[in-house]
Amino acid sequence: MRPIYIIGAGSIVRDAHLPAYKKAGFCVEGVFDRDLSAAKFASDNFGIPSVYGSLQALVDDAIKTGGVFDVALPANSTAETLRVLPDGSGVLMQKPMGESLAQASEILNICKSKNLTAGVNLQLKQAPYFRQLLKLLPEIGEIYDLDWRVVTLQPWHLWTFLQEKSRCEINYHSIHYIDAVRSILGEPIGVWCRTMQSPKAPLLSQTASTIILDYPKIRANISTNHGHDFSPDYQESCLKLEGTKGAIRLTLGVILDYPAGRADKLEYISEKTGVWIEVPTNGTWFPDAFIGTMGGLLRKIENPDYNYENCVADAYKTMQVIEACYISNNNGSTPLPN
């Protein structure tokens, strides 16, 4: 198995990447962070052999061992980091794929020009319960309604770098839902969107969004509100699918009281069952889904014919939807007719 070299040792790496890789038995050989104490913390807590004082030193060792790169940096620094990596490398980069479609295009072109086997860590669709949901789809017939509702209190203070972003909620949270919906329904033909700032989070550009994905015969709605601080009683984190023969409900527990989370729940009802059936789930979003994104990259490197669902080409399509969301948000509403 190829060793993994991590670039960036922030909270997502400590809370998800490294626990997932340890659980999967992946070999993490080295870590670099401009904050040396963060790299040392990751090394001490997860038994990573090598801590590097420079990015180039990490790259040099990775070349010797045939290692792959896990780039977990803010999106606006992804492109410059990719340019430093050796041609032909394997690399998994943190979402989003740049801060805009223009940056996503730059990243995609770098990957092509350097012949990188590259993926983007849009990992929700790799969560074990989401893979189980996909297997249930034949039970509910033709889908005509999708509703994703999130009403929570997100601990935005964990990601202070977001205070500098003009694009926040969709780029850094709803991107997961958009990407997952694409994996169920395919490509929308357009979007309607409004993304909003909250008076309770004045340092963040947006923390709530309403997104309607345009499919000719399907109502597809994503509604997020990350500022519901009126006790946890009525918080929600649920995907609901309705089809001609049944329905599916998925409760994503990690979003409720993140990062500790609550219990996940996957249920379905069909013409065959007549009642709601709970499906046991084996694993959750954090950290298990991160096994799938890195595991898929490792498999793709060894087998070029493998269908890597997290490849940069697919992530680029998600970024196209996101760009359309921001364009729709800026264009405003349609005036009422006289």
* CATH code, domain with 19: 3.40.50.720
The predicted model gives 315-321 an average pLDDT of 98
Q: Is residue 334 part of a domain?
A: no
Residue 14's pLDDT band, with cuts at 50, 70 and 90, is very high
Least confident of 46-60, 140-154, 264-278, 324-338: 324-338
Each residue's pLDDT tens digit, 148-199: 999 999 999 888 999 999 999 999 999 999 999 999 999 999 999 999 999 9
What does each C-alpha distance from 166 to 55, 122, 169, 178, 318 come to in angstroms?
Answer: 28, 21, 10, 19, 19
Shared domain check, 134 and 116? no
330 in any annotated domain: no
Is the domain of 233 the same as that of 299? Answer: no
Residue 111 lies in a domain: yes
Query: Do 105 and 186 belong to one domain?
Result: no
Arithmetic mean of pLDDT, 18-27: 98
Regarding whether 255 and 133 lie in a shared domain, the answer is yes
For the chain, what percent of residues have pLDDT higher than 70?
100
Residues 262 and 137 in one domain: yes
* pTM assigned to the model: 0.95
Mean pLDDT of the chain: 96
Q: Are 89 and 232 in a shared domain? A: no
Give the residue among 252, 249, 255, 190 at the shortest CA–CA distance from 220. Answer: 190
At 39 the three-state DSSP class reads: helix
**Confidence (pLDDT) at 1:** 86
Does residue 266 belong to any structural domain of this protein?
Answer: yes
pLDDT attached to residue 337:
86
Q: pLDDT tens across 69-83, in order?
A: 999 999 999 999 999
**Largest separation between any pair of C-alpha atoms in the chain:** 70
Q: Are residues 118 and 151 in the same domain?
A: no
Question: pLDDT at residue 282 above 80?
Answer: yes
**Does residue 230 share a domain with residue 194?**
yes
In 271-311, which ranges are continuous DSSP H helix? 289-302
Q: Cα(154)–Cα(158) distance, rounded to whole angstroms?
A: 9
As a whole number of angstroms, the distance between CA 74 and CA 100 comes to: 13
| Same domain membership, residue 76 and residue 211 | no
pLDDT at res. 88: 98
Q: What is the pLDDT of residues 226-275, one digit of tens each?
A: 999 999 999 999 999 999 999 999 999 999 988 889 999 999 999 999 99
Same domain, 298 and 160: no
pLDDT tens column, 118-133 = 999 999 999 999 999 9
Q: Tell me, what CATH number does 234's domain have? A: 3.30.360.10
Q: Establish if 317 belongs to a structural domain.
A: no
Residue 18 lies in a domain: yes
With 90 as the cut, is the pLDDT of residue 13 above it? yes
Specify if 328 maps to a domain. Answer: no
How high is the pLDDT of residue 27?
98
Query: Based on the structure, what is the number of domains in the chain?
Result: 2
Q: Is residue 329 in some structural domain?
A: no
Q: Does residue 149 sit in the same domain as residue 187?
A: yes
Q: What is the domain extent for residue 33?
A: 4-122+288-308
The reply to whether 51 and 185 lie within a common domain is no
Give the single-character DSSP code of 54: S
